Structure 1
Amino acid sequence: MSPRSEWLTDEQINRLREYRQGDVVSLPRQVWLAHGDLPTTAYSRDHAARGALSSVHEAAPDGQVILTQTCDLVPRAGRDRPFVALAPLVKLEEDEATLARRGRMPRYAHVPAFRDGSCFADLDRITTIETGLLLLQNRTPGLSNDAERASFARALARKFDRYAFPDDLHVSLSKWREHVISRYGRENSPEGALYRAAVDVLVSADPAWDADRIHVRVTVLFDPGFLPPTNPEAVPDVGDVEQVHGLPAAVLAEQICTGSAGAERGGLMCERLELLWSERCDCVGRIATVEFALVGTDDMTVDEYRRSVSFDLEFLTAA
C-alpha cells in the first residue's frame, strides 16, 4: 500500500490523476434515498418500499459527470479522498439547451465535448460514490480546454450561490419569463436576439426584499456600445414620441439590435420597450411594481451593482 493512502496503491492513485472535473464516467445507475410512504418523484413512488427508508436506483444510460474538483480527486499528504460527487448526464431539447448554455438555467452545467453539445450535468440530482468505484468506470473527457473547464466550474458555483427571492416575485414575473423562453431560442425573433445579447440580468428591491411593499427593478445588462446612444439633456421631438409609442416590442428590439434606432430616438425606444416588458408582469402580494431598465455595463454604477442580484429564468417557475 502507498503511504499516501490507506486504501489505494500508487498505481491506482496515478490512474486517478487522469480523471478531471467534467469527465463523463460510464456508471449506469444513480442512487438516492427515499421513503416509500412519502415519495416525491414518480420513480420513488413506483420503486421505494412501503413503510421504510429505501435506496432508489434509476438508470443513467448516458453516464454521469464528475463534479468534484480535480484537485480533490487524488489523495495527498496522507489524506484520503474517499468520496466523489457525480450528476447524471442528460440531453435537453434545443430551446432549453440554448438557455442552459447561456447560464440561464443553473440546474444544468454544459458538457460541450460530449456527443453533439446538447448534453448537460443535471445538478439537481447529485450522487456520492466512493473513489474506488470511479476507477472501475470507463472515462470520457467532457471538457476540451481551459475555457470550457472554467465555464463548468462557474456553472457549479452559480447553482449553489443563488439568492432566495420571495415567492411573490416568482408569480409576478412568471408571464415575462414565459415570454422570454418562447423567444430566446428563435433565430427569427428580434426580442429573442435582444435577450441573447444580454450579458446579465440583475434584480433589486426598494426598500428591501423583506419590506411589506416592494418596488422591483429588473436591469438587463448589455456590453458597452450595444444600446443606442442617448442624450439625457435633449428634449424629444413630439412626433418621435408619438411614433415610437405605437411601435410593437419586436420592432423596437430589432432596431435596438441592428443599431438603426439612432441617437434621436434610441432612448425613446429603450424606454418604450422597458414599459412593454413591465406590462407583462402581474404584481401580486408584496410586489407593488416591476420596472425594467436596459443598461450598458459601463453605465451601471458600483452602488447599483452591489444592491442588485443576478438571477436566472429557471428560478421563475411558473405558478
Structure 2
Amino acid sequence: MRAPAQIERGAKALTEVGAGLDGTVPHLEEFRQGDVLVDLTQLSVLTDHDWESIATPCGVALISQTCDVVQKTRTYVQVARVVKIDGDRSGLARKGKMPRYAHLPAIDDQTFADLEVVATVAKSAIVGRPMKRGIGNDEQVRDFSEAVARKFGRFAFPDEVVPWINKLENAAYKSAGKQGSAMGRVLDDILELRIEVGNGWDEAPYELTLLIVVKSGIIPVYGDDELPDLPGALQNWLHTGTNGCRTPQQIAERLSATTDPVEKYFLWDSFAEALADSCTPSESTDLSIRNAVLGGALTAEALSADDLSYARYRRTERVDVDHLC
C-alpha cells in the first residue's frame, strides 16, 4: 500500500497538470458560464485514426458552471464549439426544441453553443484571452445552465417506447418556430411535452400519458363548479374529420383562430389527444412495440404550467425529439 505522503504528492501532481508556469491554477474571476472565447478557433478530438482538430471559427463557449470556472481548486473547464444557425432551425433551437444547442442570446439570435462538440481545456490556456459575454440577465443564465444540464441528463426511454414518442417529430416539432403557420403559433405557447408513467418503468406494458405543458394564462381557467359544457357545434366538428377525428394541424388552425374561451378550453384538450393519437405505431410495427403501451394508446392532457405540481413533475420525463430520432 502506498504511504499517505506518496498519495498526497501524487494527487498534488495531478492537480497541477495544466496549471500555470509556477504550478498554480490561474484565477479566472472575470469569466463565467456562457462566455465565448473568440480566438480559440480549433478543438482536438480523438477519432479512430488519431487526435484531429475541429475548426471553431466562431470560438468556443464555456459550459462549466461558473463556480467551477472561478474556483482555484479546479484546473480545467469544459468548452463547446460556437456555431451559427439560420432560418427556422434557429427558432427551434431558441425555443429549446433542439437540445444539442444552447442559445447565446447576448451575442445574437443565431449564435449557439454546440453541445455535441465539447472539449476540456486547462485554465492556463484561457487566462488573458479575449472574451465576449454570451448570456446576460438572470433569466438567460438560468436558461443556458438548464440547456447544458438537459443535454447531459436526459431520460433514456425504454427501446420499445421510443417508436411511440418519436412520432412527435412529424406531428409537432417540424412546425415549431414557423410563425406563419397555425401549428407554429400553437406550439409557441407550449413550454414542454412530458411523458408520465402511471405504473413505473420496470416492465411493459407502460401506462403512459402525454402532458402538454402550456404557458400560464393561455388555457382558460374555470372553477370545479363552473366547468362549461362542450358546445354541440364544436363536438360535431371534432368528430367529423378523417376516421372520425381531427388532426393536430386542423385543431391548431381552429385554436389559433378562435377567441371564444370555452372553445379554447376544450380545443387544448383535443389538441393534446390528437397529438397522443398520432404517436400510435402502424399495424406493420413489431408486436413487442405495439404492445409496449397499456391499452394500445397514450392518454393525453393539456395543462397550464401553474397547474403542474412538483410531485407530478417528478413522475414525468421531458420529451426531446432530436434525441429520439
Is the structural similarity TM-score above 0.5?
yes
Cα deviation for residue 168 of structure 1 reads 2.5
Distance in 2 (CA, whole Å) between partners of 1:163 and 1:91 is 28
**Which residue number in structure 2 is paired with residue 130 of structure 1?**
122
Q: Report if aligned partners of 2:35, 2:62 keep a CA contact under 8 Å in 1.
A: yes
Greater displacement, 161-170 / 241-250: 241-250
**How much is the aligned-residue C-alpha RMSD, in angstroms?**
2.9
Alpha-carbon offset, residue 109 of structure 1: 1.0
Shift of 1:314: 2.1
| 1:23-38 mapped onto 2 (5 Å cutoff) | 23-25=35-37, 26-35=39-48
Cα distance in 2 for residues equivalent to 1:206 and 1:223: 24
> 1:307 aligned to 2:315?
yes
1:73 is matched with which residue: 66, 69, 72?
A: 69
- Secondary structure at the counterpart of residue 126 of structure 1: strand
Out of 275, 278, 299, which is 1:277 matched to?
275
The alpha carbon displacement at 1:31 in A equals 0.8
| Most deviating of 305-314 and 238-247 | 238-247
- TM-score calculated relative to the size of structure 1: 0.79
Shift of 1:208: 2.1
The number of equivalent residue pairs is 290
Alpha-carbon distance between aligned partners in 1 of 2:113 and 2:216, rounded to the nearest angstrom: 33
TM-score (norm 2): 0.78
2: CA distance, partners of 1:292 / 1:99: 23
Tell me the residue number matched to 2:182.
190
In the alignment, which residue of structure 2 is the partner of 1:106? 99
One-letter code of the match for 1:95? Answer: D
Structure 2 vs 1, CA of residues 304 and 113 (structure 1 numbering), >3 Å: closer, same or farther? closer
Mapped to 2, the partners of 1:149 and 1:311 lie a distance apart of: 22
Identify the match of residue 236 of structure 2 among 216, 224, 242: 242
Q: Which residue of 2 aligns with 1:85?
A: 78
Unaligned runs of 5+ in 2: 1-15
Query: Quick one: percent identity of the two aligned structures?
Result: 26
SS in 1 for 2:53: strand
Cα distance in 2 for residues equivalent to 1:270 and 1:73: 44
Query: Match of 1:157?
Result: 149
Quote how far apart the aligned CAs of 1:210 are.
2.9
Give per-residue Cα distances to partners, 1:85-120, cap 9 Å, x unaligned. 111001223322212212222221111222x32111
CA contact (8 A) 2:214 2:304 kept: yes
Unaligned 5+ segments in structure 1 are 36-47, 49-53
Shifted more, 157-166 versus 142-151: the winner is 142-151
Residue 61 of structure 1, CA deviation: 1.3
**Cα contact 2:26–2:123 (8 A) shared by 1:** no
| Residue pair 1:17, 1:74 contacting (<8 A) in 2 also | yes
Deviations 1:272-296 (A, max 9, x none): 3233223322336123322322112
Structure 2 Cα separation of the partners of residues 225 and 236 of structure 1: 20
SS in 2 for 1:109: strand
Amino acid at match of 1:215: E
- Map of 1:216-231 to 2, 5 A cutoff? 216-229=208-221
Contact 1:226–1:257 (8 Å) recurs in 2:
no
Moved more, 209-218 or 183-192: 209-218
